[in-house]
Amino acid sequence: MQAILVTGGAGFIGANFVNYFVNKYPNYHVVMLDKLTYAANLDNVQESANKPNYTFIKGDICDNELVAKLFKEYDLKGVIHFAAESHVDNSISNPRAFIETNVNGTFTLLENARLHWLEAPHKVKPGYENARFHHISTDEVFGALGDTGYFTEKTPYAPSSPYSASKASSDHLVRAFNKTYGLNITISNCSNNYGPCQHQEKLIPHVISQCLQEKSIPVYGNGKNIRDWLYVLDHCKAIDLIYHNAKTGETYNIGGHNERTNVEIVTKICEILDQKVPRKNGQKYADLITYVTDRPGHDFRYAIDPTKIQTDLKWFADETFDTGIIKTIDWYLKSK
């Protein structure tokens, strides 16, 4: 059974991925490494916890000794790397943790993959010919768009926040390990995800939670910032395809053409909740919306051109925002 290290599997996207992957591939042994920061919740991977092809290790991706031990002990032949500090607002108030985990942590994983899989630059050890490192990144590395245009794989990097700058740095390191050492890597840059298991600090779960507690719903600035939303399972399926089918060194942008302004997202959630759990006082949830001071350096618009992954790997999103948001709200209502 081939062992694959999945980092950050107790977080939002990692947990959705672990449950999908452990179930789909009983012949892979998924070794899940997570430090269990405030953003983690092991309940998210409860359905995988007792599967014979899953092992959880609590630990830090920056801990070189631990990472080296895991490569050796499990003879890891793959890495799918989600672990990160991921919240832009936290990166503004406490950027250090973002550099440590997103840059140094990614370097520690790459360096151990190099030492375990390669004899010398561009010389793979026998038995490790297919060992691959897949790095999960974000469209935020490209900076902000104006009213028109899309991010492609050729868009120059121009990150705005300590979060996106740390992710950009990690992407560069991953690419450098491919060019310099011939490490078999792939990278994906995805748009904003939503779906089950997301931490309440992020926009969609936060809005749902504020509504259900009848508290004010804060919206940054004029609410006109645009994000391109992708249902988390569609992201997981794209990663699966890239990990298994992409050529070495390739980068793919992942997005499903679901651009919405923040205020459209908030209003849509309010409308759905008005139907599903109407307020007792007869008012609308949208009455709770409050505009608050904008985030510093707030990027105006992100939008992905997914032509490359659609053409090369035949990946298409299964959910539109209108179908995915219903599934998401139903999950939060069930788990509250």
Ligand X SMILES: NC(=O)c1ccc[n+]([C@@H]2O[C@H](COP(=O)([O-])OP(=O)(O)OC[C@H]3O[C@@H](n4cnc5c(N)ncnc54)[C@H](O)[C@@H]3O)[C@@H](O)[C@H]2O)c1
Q: How far apart are CA 97 and CA 166, in angstroms?
A: 10
Tokens of 183: 């490490």
Return the number of the residue (7 or 161) whose C-beta is nearest ligand X.
Answer: 7
The interface mask with ligand X, positions 276-315, x = CB under 6 A, is ----------------------------------------
Tokens of 159: 């990150």
**Whether 43 contacts 15, CB under 8 Å:** no
CB of residue 105 to ligand X, shortest distance in Å: 5
The reply to whether 163 belongs to the active site is yes
Q: How far apart are CA 172 and CA 102, in angstroms?
A: 12
CB of residue 146 to ligand X, shortest distance in Å: 21
CB of residue 310 to ligand X, shortest distance in Å: 18
Considering only residues 2, 25, 36, 68, which one is a binding residue for ligand X as defined by CB under 6 A?
36
Residue 326 in the binding site for ligand X (CB under 6 A): no
Residue list 60-119, contact with ligand X (CB under 6 A): 60-62, 82-86, 101, 105
> Which one of 34, 60, 85, 139 is the catalytic residue?
139
Considering only residues 192, 251, 258, 328, which one is a binding residue for ligand X as defined by CB under 6 A?
192
Residues in the chain: 336
Residue 265 in the binding site for ligand X (CB under 6 A): no
**Whether 192 contacts 182, CB under 8 Å:** no
Considering only residues 11, 143, 182, 205, which one is a binding residue for ligand X as defined by CB under 6 A?
11
Query: CB under 8 Å to 283, separation ≥6 — which residues?
Result: none
CB of residue 39 to ligand X, shortest distance in Å: 4
**Whether 62 contacts 101, CB under 8 Å:** yes
Q: Exposed, middle or buried, 11 (CB in 10 Å: 0-12/13-18/19+)?
A: buried
Return the number of the residue (2 or 90) whose C-beta is nearest ligand X.
Answer: 90
Q: How far apart are CA 22 and CA 1, in angstroms?
A: 12
Return the number of the residue (22 or 190) whose C-beta is nearest ligand X.
Answer: 190
The reply to whether 47 belongs to the active site is no
**Among 160, 164, 312, 182, which residue's Cα sits nearest to residue 251?**
312
CB of residue 287 to ligand X, shortest distance in Å: 28
The reply to whether 287 belongs to the active site is no
What is residue 6's three-state secondary structure?
A: strand
Residue 4 in the binding site for ligand X (CB under 6 A): no
Q: Exposed, middle or buried, 206 (CB in 10 Å: 0-12/13-18/19+)?
A: middle
Q: Which amino acids are annotated catalytic?
A: 139-140, 163
Residues that bind ligand X (CB under 6 A): 7-8, 10-14, 33-37, 39-40, 60-62, 82-86, 101, 105, 136, 138, 167, 190, 192-193, 199
